A and B are shown apart, each in its own frame.
Chain A
Amino acid sequence: MKKELQSFEAEVDLSVYPLEAVQAAAYTFYDDCYCKISRIKGTEKAVVTIKAKEAGTELSEDVFFNELLHSTLRFRLSEKNQTIRERVVIQALSAAAGGQKEKTSEHGEEADVLLEQEIEKLLKEAESGSYKTDPLDISVPWEDKNAENKKNKTKN
């Protein structure tokens, strides 16, 4: 018996999900399915039609909406962090290519010296056991500290 090809239609609110994210989410089905995206005229909505290429391909609208959420967040983060992303990637690739050869070695040495000094200092502290193991009293529960303060106040 010939199996019916699975398909679904999902209506997407474009005020919630950007069109770029809708396209990216639909694209994740590209290998196994035919995908179509159409705008609903006069509305801020789009319809995504996903149709399996072969029988036996399992399709789920829920999976599409999860992909849509992922793509939306990726899109938003990419927009929001565009400047820092570009700067970090350019810096990383340019240092790797030796585009900043002199600057790289100078800063590298500086960073290495800094690291050595820091390790020296911390080692001395660790060996002498004189450093503050918990300078911020992170390990002391706030309630205990508060209790001490309260006690002092009461005494006063």
Chain B
Amino acid sequence: MQKTRKTKQKTDKNLPSDIPAGNAGYFRFKELDGKYLLTNDVGHYIFLSRTDFGKFVSGKIPADSEKGKALAENGFINIPGEVSVHGDKNPEPDFMLNAMASQWLSKKNFLLHAPSLHIIVLTRRCNLACVYCHANAGMQGGTDMTKATARKVLDTIFSCPSRGITIELQGGEPTLNWPVLTYIVTEARERAVKTGKNVVLSLVSNLSTLTDDKVEFLRLNKVSVCTSLDGHRALHSKNRPFALNSEKSSYDYAVKGIKALRKAFAEEKYSGDALLTVTRHSLGKAKQIINDYKRLKMESIFIRFLNPYGSAKEKWEETGYSPEEFLKFYKEALSYIIELNLSGEYSIIEHTARILLCKIFRKTDPGYVDLRSPCGAAIGQIAYNYDGSVYTCDEGRMLAAMGDETFCIGKAGKDDYNKLISSPVAKCVVTASLADLQPACSSCVYQPYCGVCPVLNYSEHGDLFMHGMNYRCRIYSGIFDYLFTLMKDKKILKLFREWAVRK
């Protein structure tokens, strides 16, 4: 990151009618849809016409003009004693710098916390054979976590200094190891009481093995459930077929499970959180998929792209697509979602957009570990494999499923928490995920809202650092472009602001 340039103090008396170029703080810019979009390190943004942009950079924008004031309000220029960040007038020469520093810290509040997301892989076994599975799951035995290992994993998790802890139970299909799942949930709840930690439990499941008893257990222990819903019956079942029975439809089980959970969690107003993983089979079917969500009265959708690593890389030709193909799908889906929301016909929120909008509009980071600088690996999340091996993140654990242990930071029970966190791997990943050090990110207008993934970089280039604009970068840049373009419409801007403040 480059510091905002300190400027020579000027008093009100000799305030120039034009703002000298030297008073401009550090900013990044991009020409977008006929205008110039400018952002700064604290995440403020402004659009300027080509003429105004020219005036701004050559120091000829009038200080008392609307744009001059807006630029000052958002910290793009410093006029001590006249206008300061967000309207607070203050004669201190360094007021703007201090205000910006304070805002920067709010945006980076995650730097003050220990890892809060702990992902436990209960088993690699899975009864589905999803075409995009990163984890190389299957029906092979010998990959269930034992109670002894689970205890060691919980020891590690509860020695983490974070007061708020989210334990995400994953797989394979985690419910296939139900005895250990119930052990972890019960034990975590007991330990939460003993330690005073605030523990949130969540389960990622395909819902195919849910029974009334299991749903009741999840309800009693306040375990939230997230599942995948890839669209209508044929598409979902094609993406997520049963491993051993091609006659059964995984869609039917997912829908049945969502309905059962909705009933059980009625007090929590659970409508069913679902992920939509886009595959090549989904392209061109955006409207159809959203309509299926609408039919099932889902209140949210999380549109996610495939990442070319782990075992997904091997099936790329069958399931993958280019960033441009994904963006075409995403735009179709989001524009339809917006249309439905604005018409009042159906209210549904899209989570990828919501996360990016939170980053744009909110003063604090929304806590999405995949998209920040430095990334959440080791400092925001930790992943525990079924055998107790510990990884910087879930992506690193997925790579290990393919036999590459680069992102392993130790083993639960053998290495204590501090040893895990201070491992050289953790240090390398944190350093390598600083966006300010990536040539492609350093001058990118979206850098204040974005982040890199060292695991993906490593998978693509054999290097933790990003080389050029990679696959993930091209997708996120495209989504940011689209969101900022849409924001020019006042109605959409209002909707986006509402999404950004949703919990």
Contacts and interface: CB of A to CB of B under 8 A. Distances in A.
Contacts of B427: 89, 93
B49 to A, nearest CB: 4
Interface string B442-474: 100000000000000000000101011000000
A21 to B, nearest CB: 11
Contacts of B108: 88
B434 interface: yes
Given A95-B112, A101-B161, A122 B501 contact: yes
Among B2, B108, B426, B437, the most chain A Cβ lie within 10 Å of the Cβ of B437
B213 interface: no
Contacts of B431: 85, 89
B474 to A, nearest CB: 17
Among A78, A100, A133, the most chain B Cβ lie within 10 Å of the Cβ of: A133
A134 interface: yes
B260 interface: no
Indicate the size class of the contact surface on chain B: 35 or more
Contact of B47 (A88, A133, A138): A138
B493 A141 contact: no
Interface in A86-132: 88-89, 91-93, 95-98, 100-101, 103-105, 107-108, 111, 114-115, 118-119, 122-123, 126, 131
Nearest to A76: B439
Main secondary structure of the interface of A (DSSP, over half): helix
Contacts of A105: 163
A111 B364 contact: yes
B490 A139 contact: yes
B18 interface: no
B130 to A, nearest CB: 32
B181 to A, nearest CB: 27
B422 interface: yes
Contacts of B161: 97-98, 101, 104
Contacts of B503: 119
B497 A78 contact: no
A92 B421 CA distance: 11
A143 interface: yes
A92 B430 contact: yes
Contact of A93 (B106, B379, B498): B379
A80 B113 CA distance: 27
Contact of A118 (B74, B364, B493, B497): B364
B379 A118 contact: no
B82 interface: no
Interface of A: 28, 70, 73-74, 77-78, 80-81, 84-85, 88-89, 91-93, 95-98, 100-101, 103-105, 107-108, 111, 114-115, 118-119, 122-123, 126, 131, 133-134, 136-139, 141-143, 145
19 contacts: A73-B442, A77-B437, A77-B438, A77-B442, A81-B1, A93-B427, A95-B379, A97-B161, A98-B114, A114-B363, A114-B364, A115-B362, A118-B363, A122-B497, A126-B497, A131-B497, A133-B497, A139-B493, A142-B48
Interface of B: 1-3, 46-49, 51-52, 66-67, 70, 73-74, 106, 108-109, 111-115, 160-161, 163-164, 362-364, 374, 378-379, 418, 421-422, 426-427, 430-431, 434, 436-439, 442, 463, 465, 467-468, 487-490, 493-494, 497-498, 500-501, 503
Q: Which 3 A-B pairs have the closest CB atoms?
A: A98-B161, A142-B49, A73-B439
